[in-house]
């Protein structure tokens, strides 16, 4: 069979527009690209990524469909391997309905939630996003949403879902379409999704036929973002899975504490208070230890002719952690202190006011001469040697004995 050049530009009839639950369909291949890995059909039930809704998955001629791309008039089906059939061949497609129904539930829940937020709270939706795990609605006109208000919205949107409003699709001329939630900037024929008595929106997405099919709607949190407020939600089977995951996480967190999940908030607060007390005690003891160690190092170091002690100290951890020790030494009199980590090349250099040394300038110059980088204030500076074997040279430049 010969296909004309114009056939490659044949528009794709979108079967999901009129039947969101169509799982199996047959179609004719109109064009094949990229060695058979991208296929165009005269009609398709596969939803392409658009309007914030992710694409469908499934198979075409028993080959996995890994992506579906909207190219305006046409839909490109990206396959896991070459189709192996020419233009003009007939193929059968299967849509992954588990994924499709999940997207239908999330998308219809978003329409219902947006209608509620606009009608009862005066917060219009400015953008939506449907993710693999959660979805979001961004609304304007509100500076954050308190937890108790979010709970009331959640209760109300679930009541509306349980009222089982019909969800229908119609096609209307853009110039004559009235009562839309948001005016459309498109001309010509619009696809209108209507939730009976609640909402009319121009939308090309897939939806359930009645709001009761959405299932539960869980509003997880609300946060400020870019001048708007973002509400994160999950619906349907995804809400059940999220609730199960949350319950498992709580149970796992409570088990080591031999507590019930409901007791976790109080226990966590008690543990945080205890950690704060212990951290305060640790810092106090660390300061006392630093003073003791500083005294040992001070007495072990002989002053030079100018009366300045040059103290060297090696650590196995971060040189910054030695700052309490360094500060204790600086209070004892004229000294310069060099702390190094021979394993990673870390350097901390400090100088007391009585020493007459500017720690920042001195360390910066020494590191530049030895292939390192760093600097700091006149009293304390920090840096890093790129070539750790040049540490003795750095010591010499800093005046170490």
Domains and CATH numbers, the chain: 5-95 (2.40.30.130), 101-255 (3.30.980.10), 284-397 (3.10.310.40)
Structure pTM? 0.72
The pair of structure tokens assigned to 25 is 């369909």
Measured between alpha carbons, how far is 31 from 9 in angstroms, rounded to an integer? 8
3-class state of residue 220 by DSSP: strand
- State residue 2's pLDDT score: 33
Write out pLDDT tens, residues 150-202. 999 999 999 999 999 999 999 999 888 899 988 888 889 999 999 999 999 99
- State residue 4's pLDDT score: 37
- State residue 260's pLDDT score: 86
Q: How many CA atoms lie within 13 A of 147 on its CB side?
A: 0
Asked if 398 and 362 touch (Cβ cutoff 8 Å), the reply is: yes
- State residue 1's pLDDT score: 28
Q: How many CA atoms lie within 13 A of 122 on its CB side?
A: 3
Geometric angle at alpha carbon 269, from 264 and 272, rounded to 5°: 120
- State residue 373's pLDDT score: 87
- State residue 8's pLDDT score: 61
Q: Which residues of the chain have pLDDT under 50?
A: 1-6
Going by their DSSP bridges, the two strands 43-44 and 13-14 should be labelled as parallel
Measured between alpha carbons, how far is 148 from 114 in angstroms, rounded to an integer? 19
- State residue 152's pLDDT score: 97
- State residue 3's pLDDT score: 35
Measured between alpha carbons, how far is 91 from 85 in angstroms, rounded to an integer? 9
**Cα(first)–Cα(last) distance of the chain, in Å?**
92
Measured between alpha carbons, how far is 110 from 68 in angstroms, rounded to an integer? 22
- State residue 65's pLDDT score: 98
Asked if 360 and 351 touch (Cβ cutoff 8 Å), the reply is: no
- State residue 253's pLDDT score: 86
- No. of helices (H) and no. of strands (E), the chain: 7, 20
The burial class, CB within 10 Å (0-12 / 13-18 / 19+), for 107 is buried
- State residue 34's pLDDT score: 95
């Amino acid at each position: 069979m010969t296909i004309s050049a114009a056939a490659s530009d044949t528009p794709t009839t979108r079967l999901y527009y009129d039947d969101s639950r169509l799982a199996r369909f047959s179609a004719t291949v109109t064009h094949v690209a990229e060695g058979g890995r991208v296929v165009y059909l005269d009609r398709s039930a596969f939803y392409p990524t658009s309007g914030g809704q992710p694409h469908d998955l499934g198979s075409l001629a028993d080959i996995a469909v890994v992506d579906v791309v909207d190219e305006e008039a046409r839909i490109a089906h990206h396959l896991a391997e070459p189709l192996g059939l020419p233009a003009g061949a007939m193929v059968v497609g299967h849509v992954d309905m588990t994924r499709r129904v999940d997207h239908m539930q999330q998308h219809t829940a978003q329409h219902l939630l947006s209608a509620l937020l606009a009608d009862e709270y005066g917060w219009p939706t400015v953008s939506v996003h449907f993710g693999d795990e959660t979805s979001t609605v961004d609304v304007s006109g509100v500076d954050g949403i308190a937890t108790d208000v979010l709970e009331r919205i959640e209760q109300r949107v679930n009541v509306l879902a349980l009222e089982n409003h019909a969800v229908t699709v119609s096609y209307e001329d853009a110039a004559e379409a009235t009562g839309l939630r948001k005016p459309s900037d498109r001309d010509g024929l619009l696809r209108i999704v209507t939730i009976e008595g609640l909402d009319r929106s121009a939308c090309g997405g897939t939806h359930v036929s009645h709001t009761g099919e959405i299932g539960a709607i869980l509003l997880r949190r609300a946060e400020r973002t870019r001048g708007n407020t973002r509400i994160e939600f999950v619906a349907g089977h995804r809400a059940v899975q999220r609730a199960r995951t949350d319950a498992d996480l709580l149970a796992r967190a409570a088990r080591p504490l031999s507590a019930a999940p409901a007791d976790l908030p109080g226990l966590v607060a008690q543990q945080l208070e205890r950690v704060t007390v212990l951290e305060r005690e640790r810092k106090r003891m660390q300061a006392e230890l630093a003073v003791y160690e500083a005294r040992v190092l001070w007495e072990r170091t002989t002053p030079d002719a100018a009366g300045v002690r040059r103290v060297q100290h090696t650590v196995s951890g971060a040189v910054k952690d030695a700052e309490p020790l360094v500060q204790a030494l600086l209070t004892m009199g004229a000294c310069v202190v060099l702390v190094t980590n021979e394993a990673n090349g870390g350097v901390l250099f400090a100088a007391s006011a009585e020493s007459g040394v500017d720690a920042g300038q001195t360390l910066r110059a020494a590191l530049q001469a030895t292939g390192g980088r760093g600097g700091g204030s006149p009293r304390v500076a920090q840096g890093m040697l790129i070539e750790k074997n040049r540490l003795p040279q750095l010591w010499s430049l800093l005046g170490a004995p």
